[in-house]
Amino acid sequence: MKHVPELKDLVDDMPRFSDVLTTFAAKLQINLGEFHADHISVRCHQNTTAERWRAGLAKCGSLLNETLINGRPICLFTLDEPLTVGPLSIDLVELPYPGDKRYPHEGWEHIEIVLAGAEEELSARALALIADEALMTPGIKLKQSAPKGENERLPNPTLAVTDGSVTIKFHPHSLREIVASEREEG
């Protein structure tokens, strides 16, 4: 990734993201080293930026999947060499094209961790990992959602925890499992 001109801004943004992510995880009292990060995601404001990043990611990985979620393309790239993000090694990048929401920062935005188990118990599993006092800290927000791709057959609810500058999301299934479920014949 370091040698791909289209991704220079993302390479330059990684130290900032790693710092805010590890600081946020410490505030939540989550030891990131105990988990497998399923993927990392970027955010951008313009389709031209998304197209540039897409071209760059294609040079250092391969397109695993592209699907429409909430009316916008979401691309998943498997990297040839994993990214080091704090104590994590991540080989899957989620590139959502811009939607209506504007993010405070263009660049790396969140990681997602798989907490295997029943979908309906995801929130309880995730919240059990986070210190109670962290959940009461001003500025910490929780959001539950259930994004779904066009052909997705495997429910994958999300619990997102954010401080407004970085987000950690939890899912019961990996994106690779979700993609496989989309490709299964019914």
pTM recorded for the entire structure: 0.90
The mean of the pLDDT values for the chain is 90
Please determine, for residue 6, whether its predicted confidence score (pLDDT) is greater than 70. Answer: yes
Q: What band does 148 get if pLDDT is binned at 50, 70 and 90?
A: low
DSSP string, the chain: -TT-GGGHHHHHHHHHHHHHHHHHHHHHT--GGGS-EEEEEEE-S-HHHHHHHHHHHHHSEEEEEEEEETTEEEEEEEEEEEEEETTEEEEEEEEEPP-S---SSSEEEEEEEE--S-GGGHHHHHHHHS-HHHHTSTT-EEEEE----TT--S---EEEEE-SS-EEEEESS-HHHHHHHHHS--
Which residues lie closer than 8 Å to 4 by C-beta, 6 or more apart? 56, 59, 60
Give the tens place of pLDDT for each residue, 75-95.
999 999 999 999 999 999 999
pLDDT, residue 58, reads 98
